[in-house]
Structure 1
Amino acid sequence: MRNHESACRRQQEARHGMQLGSVSMDVAQLGVVNMNDATDTFNSSIEPGSDTLLGMHGTSSQPDELSHVRESDALAPPGSDVGQNSFYIEIVPHPASGKKSTIIPLDSSGAEKTHEHEVIKAALSCPWRPFNNLADFEYAEIAINSHKANATIDKELEKLHSSWASHTVITFRNHKDLEASLAAARFFVVGFQRGQVTSSFNGQDYTFSFYYRDPWEEILGRVRDASLCAVSMWYPVQKYIHIGTGRSRLYDETCTGDGWWKIQDTLPQVDGLPHCFLPLHVWSDGGRASTTVTKHPLIMRPLWLPSEIRNGSGNGGGVLLTYMPSIPDPAKPSERTPLERIAFGNFKTDVYHKVVDKVFEPIREHSHVGDTVTCGDDIARVLYPGIHIISIDHEEACKACGTRASPATYPCPRCLIRNDEQHNLSIERELRTTESMQAIYLEAKAASSRTAREAILQKYGLHFVENAFWSIANSDPYAALSYDTLHSDDIGKWGKHLWPLLLQVLSNMKESEMLATNMNLVPTWPGLSHFSCVTDIEYTDGNKHFDILRCILPCIVGILPRASPLIHCIRAYSRFRMYASLKCMSEGRLILLKRSMVLYGSLCQKVGNEYGKDWDFPKQHAATHLPSDIRNKGATINYSTRPGEGFQREMKEAYRTTNFKDTERQMSQVDANMEAIAHIRLQVDDADRLRREQEDKARKAAEHQNFEHTRAPTTMAHLHKAQSDKQWIFRAAQPRTYPSSLRAVQDSFHRFHHFASSLRQFLLTLAEGRELLTIYPFQCIELKFQSREDWKEGRDLLRCNPSFNGQPRFDCVMINTEHAASYGRLQFIFICRLPSGTELDICLIRDLEPSTWKPRTKWDGCRVFREGKLMFVLAKYLIRGCHMIPAFDSPSTTKYFYLNDLIDGDMFLRCEKM
């Protein structure tokens, strides 16, 4: 036992020294230069355990109650021994911006905050115009957003003007009145216009009609919006994290990548007239509007706005440009010859590019010469739009790049890798570029015969189609095409390859039921799906596949043979998948990403040799392009197709409201109605906010400030208020009680019969005396922490409840200790009020200690824990929550658990350091 008095003294000194979110991480993982100096400075400024300080553990003289006294030396507040700005983020803007670097300290209290601006528009007397009144607008908003049918609207309005309400102020009488107001409201948004393209196939012309929005008008609407200008990123930046005297490049938002910076270098620099590149994000994916109808929406997003805004559905979010025409196949693909398949693929690709050419025609000239626009901040800028990111699946990518599909000799739309080399993740081939592919197209066009032309195109896997993106400046489709974790990983490498292979292996072993049983016993975790019969359902949702991956290893390690290569392959892949989805990447993380990718590729070959699996497919090879994507376009969240998947639900609802004839025209109008309603809602909300602020100012001015402050008796409201400025908050309050009435605290495995005496002993270690007054129990705790993923605030909501939704729920936590983080399971959380008036937030925790027991196949990063004794810990020493999965193959005499490091990026990085 450590010296008790020394520990108590240090505890008293550190009690009020808590700071939220001090960060400790592996410097090498960040890729910091000048490693020796950086490491020395870093280690002197960051505590060895983790983000927060560890509380004093409980003590007891009874042998079977608490563990023996476990006291941890409290540490000095983070950053107390180092100079200012030893740990910070530096943002270096492009020289064309004329701005200086920005410093964001990270070794002070509080995590990095998202830079937010708020512009309150002038109050409008009638912000709901062109609707007659607010009630009309609110009814229209509900009707449009819930996609009500005209018959339903007519029936509701009839009832509102008769038996449902006696004095309704809604002026609509039927859906025609509503449509008249909506038609006027649509003038606030960019409308749809009709377009046509014609292409030939087998000597016959086919004409396709579609409805589309003008992308330049949509761009102007955003750059002229004062509220969006306040958060617009007009120039690229380079972001660095500094640790001591070392620094490492960071990549998060698109503006931090090299691609935007290089484009900005090519633009003119004129004093007093900024020239700015406006990068665009294009997303498209086919989706089922009904069981028999497929639609292909094309969405555009403004990359100069923060990801929280552009990926949302509100002001500044993505906008529907068009529905790409569906091209029915006049014959069975299996009955075609190879040349006929190429000809039909050429036809579909030609139609695709003619539609793209028509839709983006308004930005073509501006992309080359720019257009002077007075923006919402009253600054005139010369704007150069360009398509910087394209997020689509592989089939769509082949169309966008004009390349042939997977059977081609060169199937990758981004490089010239051969079909039989796609399994090799350690090689890189020549990249396709606009210049090189355009030259091949022109060479084929000048060929003397069709046979000669085909020979030229076949060597590069190209269709004989003039790519529409070639004519738009700074819109190289091969560079814009981006890695997507949804299609390439969750429903790609994992969902369509590794997961089916695993199921087949288990089926051959007659162990599928065991996997289903184990997965059903995995404890719940916020944001993690629970699977009761994982082997009986064929999942198509990428999120479900990712959730399976995050829990799979503990569930199969006791089933598969010892030293199974499949275990190691899945682990290597899961590490690659976690690195790929980090919201902020550093040079060090990029190195680790590439290492995990190469290791995964080599293990795939071992799995292939054992199970006969072929790894030559495009989504396997696509991983080789990920590191360059991150360097050029920022983190993968910028080009994920997941935000676009939400539009598929809206598309289905819009289709349902049509009469199933000329559906795209009607669906386009539904989208325009929703845009108009959203525009007016912003005005209504702005007016309401300004009104409330004015009322608050008037109320505060009228209040008398001369009142006597008296200490109110302790109440739940008082306790919650006292916690509001801490990094933890107790929730789900229970009736107050007294220690004497807590004769036993029940947990899943043991009873603790000496709560009061052990709590008194624990209080003595804090120099708080032995007398207790009142205990206020809670069943939930919210922990705030600084995420190691992006240094912003993270939150965990943890339960300590014997019956949460009918099931016991006792979540696990990470606790700060002197040398490394420790772990435990919440058993009881409470506020203890002492006679002195001191209130302590305390947690009773079942210790989870590292175990020497090992599974039959120990994977890289496998960490096993066993249950230990009960102990008291002050809540301020809890770092964050953690997910423990039972070791189903462990000895039955003791409870063993695997630490799940795949729940999120922060936990993954914390465990990677261990």
Structure 2
Amino acid sequence: MAKNKKAGKKRVTQASYTGHRLNPRTVCSFCQASFATRGIKRHKAYCSRNPANSKKVAISKEIPRGFIVPVEMDLTEETNHSLTDDGTSDNPSRLSDYRGPDNIEDYESCEETTSDTHPEHDRRDPSLSDHPARFISIVWHPSSNRPDEIIPLSGNADQDAAIPPSSDADLLPPVHGDRLPWHPFDTKGDFKFVHFVTTNRLKNKAVDQLLEEMHENREWTSGCTLSFKTHKDIELVLSKARVLFPEFRTEKISVKSGEYSFKFTLVLRNAWHWLESLVTDPIFASKINWYPCRKYLHEGDSCTRLYDDLETGDNWWDYQSDISPPNSSEPIPRCYLPIHFWSDKAKVSNQYSLHPVIMRPGFLPSVIRNGNGNGGGVLIAYLPVLPDLEDEASLDETSSHKRATVRRMMYHASMKVILDPLRNASHHGQAVRCGDKVVRRCYPGILVYSMDYEEATYALLNRGVNADFPDPKCNVTYEQQHDLTGNYTRRTCAEMSAAYAHARLCRFAYESNDILQAIGTYLIKNAFWVMRNSCPYKGWGYDILHMDDTSGKGKKIFLLVVEKVVKDKLESALNQRYSQLPRYPLLKHFHRVTDISYTDGNTIYNIIKNLVFCLVDLMPPNSPWVHLVRAYSRFRVLIGLHVMTDIRIELGKKLLQQENLSLDYPKYHGSYHVFQDIKGAGVTSNYVTKTGEGYNAEMKASHNQTNFKNVEAQMGKIDQNHEVIAHMMDWTLVANEKEESARAAERAENTDEPSIDSVPIVPDCNDHHKLGSKVSPRLTMDQFETANSDQPGFKDLAMRLANYLALGHHGIKKLPEFEGWFKLSFYRCAYVNYESKEDFRVRQDIIRCNPSFNGHPRYDTVLVDDNELRFARILAVFSWKYDQSKPPLDLALVRYFQPTSWTPATNFERCRVMRERRDTHFIYMSSIIRSCHMPPAIGKAKHFLVNDQTDGDIFLRLEETPI
């Protein structure tokens, strides 16, 4: 019985490489089963205690450093320390040595480190027999003591095997080790009801009314077993539950500096307690990235570096090198805990603004930390907001400077209190027994700062857009901002803190002001300087939302184009071209783009993707406007890729130089730093403010739940309820899985084995595609031809199909000869899977061939693999069930496009024009790569432009395809 329960236990499934970014695989040295690398340590602990594996010999862990380990080989433990049976360190005397003196030098705290002593990646010949033709190698930081790994890129990766946890109890946090996961609620039903009330933000009056009717057994409810009578009963239990997550507190802060003196109140929660709750949570134990790494793409003889998530950037690597001991004999491993920092002021009503600070765990995968649930962003504080003045724009220079100074003083006085719990740990580490029962010395630090420009002027103490040095990150002058070819030095904590110290020593105010103006800052001590390995000058990343889409370069270019076409009286023509664009799943459809002035960033980005194709015939020949739009739109697509390489970065630099704009403002100059930021902290999606902006809607909803008095404190309690309920729901789901596993094991024990003579179900789909929206009834090819006799190229279809199948490209043995009277199943759409060139994951496109889709005919265009890349329009999709015991043969009728010598008035870079042919051809569905978008060439019938800007895959796929 026990054995069967073990076998029937529900396992925690890891996504395959194609479903989760760069997820390697390895083999257990005890049971020889294949697993994902993350979590293998916990599995081996479970497997080593299994009596069935007691006689198996583990593979030696003494693998030379730098050796690329194939997926079939075992991986070493991530550290070289030893643990006792209960998971604690065998050298407990070292646990007390985690704090140091408090006299920390501020300006040295977050100085840039260059302690990268790791040798260059061993670029072995990928043609060796133990390496696949295409693979990704992962080089871990030396302090991890992990061997290098490889990930084969086959284009059709299998699903990862399941990883059993070491025990069910280990998945529940220690606080619930001997309690039900919904404690302190009396019953699971009580908890589920409060979860509903909390997540739907019901007000107290509505809750009371709901409970009253439920207990009175009204017409729509009966047999209510809830223990609550009113919302006060719920609040009483929630007050006990809130202690399970770091609670908010109120801090009174007094600031006195020179002529400035003021007091304010700060609502915050302990940032270290939040971090500690994550690293000690067994639910996240197998998901945490404890160490940085470097990834390389190997294709044939080429090898290029990859950048994706935070751990692949140089900054984390350098910070980990800075905290690593000079030798590897220390029994307790040291780990840098990266924090994603976001803050921004936003209105929650017409009269009231709030300034939230949100932190995210950079050591968790982006799919977790960018979510709203457990492991996602957490509200740390509400910063004080200085009320706006009605006549603030009319203030003189002195008054305006004083007001800006007060705002920044309040900001950094608040941040000093917020960061204080992290300060000592960032310098000397904090010993923590983590969720996987390994004791680690954790060093928290802020790796990335996600802020718009205005917020960055607060955090980095810059004087703003009109300052002599308006860029908070570098020493570019106001007049040089348009020049993206210059050599501008990035600021450092040492440089800025030295200037601050020098200004403080000046005898006269004008001398101090001259020093500060020369670097565009204030006489304020930056609160982030006290944090080790948290440099804000290299941590503030390029924000595509504000630097490009909503108020930056992309929107600026679009508005300039609109101004140009309106001046030339071409407004209606541009709107008409946008309205005539073929529909495409990844693109918004517009009718009047010239009327759009204020909108969200995604709308501007969608407009930019099509702008060059709608503008090209409206401008004079060889128009600089067309070249500008083309260069920028390609640049924008490239910097938004989810995986970058050194080759793609070089292409981006080339595109940036083609813009050639004379715009002297910080958001334009910000693109000078984008590729440095990508190399430092991974792709731009890691630090885009869009992730944090989503909290504004949640903040407004919380504000509406208050009585509008002492708002921050009430909203803090509301946020606390949401956090603790989210955590408890995770624990409850784990408990549910445990119960379901036990029931499944019991069912398996009492169920007979399936008969080996049973007939398997033959699926009507495969890994490449699936057909959808089946047309009824089935038709013969002759009937289909008759129904479309008015279309060119629809003659002798049955005979042509028989001849095509006779060529034998299908690879099917003994395929019957096709006859015109055979019944075929026709479909209106197909779902096609392909490996993305962008991030090597499997993507899916929906391809439609429908005579009336939402009231309009729709026949999508696709890329076809026919020895060379070809473009085609899908006219029909059908399948032939030639054998009832075998999968059907799926085909499509297409009309090919062919290259043409015709070009538009402005032959912009990589302009690809295709002419649609009249004849038709049959192809196998398996030869379709993906869909594509082809806008019509205005003024030239049957000619189409290829839009290579819809997404990252099509951009890269066509970039490497000759025109």
Cα 1:702/1:389, change in 2 over 3 Å = same
Instruction: Give CA-to-partner distance per residue, 1:498-527, whole Å, 9 cap, x none.
Output: 111111111101111222222122223224
> Does 117-126 or 328-337 show the bigger shift?
117-126
Aligned to 1:464, which of 523, 528, 538? Answer: 523
Aligned match of 1:617: 665
**Match of 2:437, SS?**
coil
Label 1:852 to 1:746 Cα distance change in 2 as closer, same or farther (>3 A).
Answer: farther
- Paired with 2:166 and 2:679, the residues of 1 have a C-alpha distance of 33
User: Pick from 610, 614, 617: which aligns with 1:551?
Assistant: 610
**Which residue of the partner structure matches residue 901 of structure 2?**
852
Match of 1:365 in 2: 424
Contact 2:555 2:604 in 1 (8 A): no
Would the alpha carbon gap of residues 381 and 837 (structure 1) be closer, same or farther in structure 2, given more than 3 Å must change?
closer
Tell me if structure 2 keeps the 8 A contact 1:197–1:351: no
C-alpha distance in structure 2 between counterparts of 1:746 and 1:428, whole Å: 64
Cα pair distance change 1:669/1:481, threshold 3 Å: same
Whose relative contact order is higher, 1 or 2, with alpha carbons under 8 Å and at least 6 apart?
1
Amino acid at match of 2:773: A
1:781 partnered with 2:830? yes
- 1-side partners of 2:774 and 2:309: how far apart? 40
How many Å apart are 1:752 and its aligned residue?
2.6
2:211 paired residue number: 157
Question: What is the alpha-carbon distance in structure 2 between the residues aligned to residue 119 and residue 208 of structure 1?
Answer: 50
Structure 1 residue 733: deviation in Å? Answer: 2.8
2:195 partner amino acid: E
Is residue 728 of structure 2 the alignment partner of residue 672 of structure 1? no
Q: Which residue of 2 aligns with 1:881?
A: 931
Aligned partners of 1:911 and 1:358: how far apart in 2?
52
CA deviation digits over 1:617-660, x for unaligned, max 9?
00110111111111111111111111112111111111111112
The separation in 2 between residues aligned to 1:213 and 1:633, in whole angstroms, is 27
- TM-score normalised by the chain length of structure 1: 0.85
Q: Specify which of 769, 778, 789 is matched with residue 817 of structure 2.
A: 769
Cα deviations by residue, 1:52-71 (Å, 9 ceiling, x for unpaired): xxxxxxxxxxxxxxxxxxxx
Contact 2:127 2:133 in 1 (8 A): no
8 A Cα contact 1:575 1:596, kept in partner:
yes
Percent of residue pairs bearing the same amino acid type: 33
1:832-911 matches, cutoff 5 A: 832-834=880-882, 839-868=888-917, 869-887=919-937, 889-891=938-940, 894-911=941-958
Residue 180 of structure 1 is matched in structure 2 by: 236
Alignment of 1:313-324 (within 5 A): 313-324=372-383
Deviation, 1:115, is 11
- Provide the secondary structure at the position in 1 that maps to 2:648: helix
Give the whole-Å Cα distance in 1 for the aligned partners of 2:749 and 2:544: 54
Residue 62 of structure 1 is matched in structure 2 by none
Alpha-carbon offset, residue 118 of structure 1:
7.3
Deviates more, 1:417-426 or 1:808-817: 808-817
SS across alignment from 1:535: helix
Task: Determine the C-alpha separation between the residues in 1 that align with 2:161 and 2:562.
Answer: 43
1:206 paired to 2:262: yes
Which segment drifts farther, 346-355 or 753-762? 753-762
Q: Does residue 752 of the first structure (1) align with residue 794 of the second (2)?
A: yes
Output one character per residue of 1:47-89: Cα deviation in whole Å (capped at 9) or x when no partner.
Answer: xxxxxxxxxxxxxxxxxxxxxxxxxxxxxxxx99988423211
Distance in 1 (CA, whole Å) between partners of 2:151 and 2:164 is 17
Letter aligned with residue 903 of structure 1: T
Q: Encode CA deviations 1:389-432: one digit per residue, 9 max, x unaligned.
A: 00100111011111110110011000110001000111121221
Q: Spell out the pairing of 1:441-840 with structure 2 (5 A cutoff).
A: 441-600=500-659, 602=660, 604-605=661-662, 615-705=663-753, 707=755, 709=757, 711=759, 721-723=763-765, 725-739=766-780, 740-744=782-786, 746=788, 750=792, 752-766=794-808, 768-771=816-819, 773-818=822-867, 820-834=868-882, 839-840=888-889
Counterparts in 2 of 1:747 and 1:425: CA distance versus 1, 3 Å: farther
Q: Deviations over 1:229-254 (max 9, x none)?
A: 20111111111112233311111111
After alignment, is 798-807 or 587-596 more displaced? 798-807
8 Å CA contact 1:833, 1:840 repeated in 2? yes
SS for the counterpart of 2:375 is coil
Alpha carbons 2:774, 2:827 under 8 Å: kept? yes
Distance 1:291 1:781, change over 3 A: farther
Q: Retained in 2: the 8 A contact 1:113–1:792?
A: no
Task: Give 1:335 shift.
Answer: 3.0
Q: Deviations over 1:99-124 (max 9, x none)?
A: 10011111463289899997884388
Unaligned ranges ≥5, structure 2: 1-17, 20-125, 809-814
Which residue of structure 1 lines up, in the alignment, with residue 147 of structure 2?
Answer: 100
- State the distance in 2 between where 1:297 and 1:841 align: 54
Q: Is the 8 A contact 2:143 2:324 kept in 1?
A: no
Correspondence list, 1:167-316, <5 A = 167-199=223-255, 203=259, 205-269=261-325, 270-316=329-375
The answer on whether the counterparts of 1:280 and 1:300 sit within 8 Å (CA) in structure 2 is: yes
What's 2:191 paired with?
137
2:478 & 2:699 partners in 1: Cα distance? 36
Which deviates the most, 200-209 or 433-442? 200-209
Distance 1:803 1:257, change over 3 A: same
Q: Aligned residues, how many?
A: 817
> Unpaired runs of 5+ in structure 1?
1-19, 22-78, 606-614, 713-717
In structure 2, the CA distance between the partners of 1:768 and 1:283, relative to structure 1 (3 Å rule), is farther
Separation (CA, whole Å) in 2 of partners of 1:90 and 1:502: 45
State TM-score, norm by structure 2: 0.81
- State whether residues 428 and 624 of structure 1, in contact with CA within 8 Å, keep that contact through their aligned partners in structure 2: no
| TM-fit CA distance, 1:459 | 0.7
| 8 Å contact kept, 1:572–1:596 | yes
CA distance in 2: counterparts of 1:394 and 1:744, whole angstroms = 63
Q: Is the 8 A contact 2:282 2:435 kept in 1?
A: yes
Does 768-777 or 625-634 show the bigger shift?
768-777
Q: Secondary structure at the match of 1:486?
A: helix
| CA deviation after TM superposition for structure 1 residue 359, in Å | 0.8
Matches within 5 A, 1:105-124: 105-107=152-154, 109-110=156-157, 121-122=168-169
SS of match in other structure, 1:502 = helix
Structure 2 letter corresponding to 1:901: D
Supply the AA of the counterpart residue of 2:452. Answer: D
- Cα shift at 1:292: 3.4
Whole-Å Cα distance in 2 between the matches of residues 483 and 368 of structure 1?
27
Compute the displacement of 1:278 (Å).
0.8
Distance in 1 (CA, whole Å) between partners of 2:647 and 2:164 is 32
Distance in 2 (CA, whole Å) between partners of 1:509 and 1:722 is: 56
1:771-828, CA deviations, whole angstroms, 9 ceiling, x for partnerless residues? 364322222211111111121222212222233333333222211021x211122222
User: What is the letter of the counterpart of residue 875 of structure 1?
Assistant: M
Q: Relative to 1, partners in 2 of residues 1:341 and 1:441: Cα closer, same or farther, differing over 3 Å?
A: same
CA RMSD of aligned residues (A): 2.6
Is residue 892–residue 924 contact of structure 2 (8 Å, CA) maintained in 1?
yes
Could you say what secondary structure the match of 1:816 adopts?
A: strand
Displacement of 1:765? 2.5
Superposition deviation, residue 301 in structure 1? 0.8
